[in-house]
Amino acid sequence: MSTIGGVKGVESGLGITAARMTGSDFNDPFGISGDQILPVSNNAGGVLGGISTGLDLNFRLAIKPTPSIFMPQKTVNWMTKTEESLLLHGRFDKNFAPRVAPIAEAMAALVLADQMILSGYINPVRFEPWQDQ
């Protein structure tokens, strides 16, 4: 996720909040639901020790504010070595954070598919979609 432009932070589960909790508060205990054993909570965001718990994967991204703004900004002219004021012209998004969500979802799907191929769960060499499996 950190390779997506504008992403400055990534949290999984409770993220930074977990650093202020005790182990007993953060723990995701297991319980029985019907005939299945499932975690009762999802503080870890669906992953414990690098292994999926079977719950939803939860992560949050921190996106930096758009630096291209229509206000004068201080800069330095590297040729003259003098401080100058820069005023941008053109069309810029005021907030590009909403555009990051579908990119992050696609990135998560690609990473999961890649890991499934590496683990052998998906074998693209043997995959023949036209045949019943």
pLDDT band for position 131 (cuts 50, 70, 90):
low
pLDDT band for position 31 (cuts 50, 70, 90):
very high
- Residue 8: predicted pLDDT: 92
Domain boundaries, the chain: 7-20+32-119
What whole-number distance in Å separates Cα of residue 46 and Cα of residue 52? 6
pLDDT band for position 69 (cuts 50, 70, 90):
confident
Q: Are 100 and 6 in contact (CB under 8 A)?
A: yes
What whole-number distance in Å separates Cα of residue 115 and Cα of residue 127? 16
Mean pLDDT of 4-14: 91
Query: Is 0.75 surpassed by the pTM of this model?
Result: no
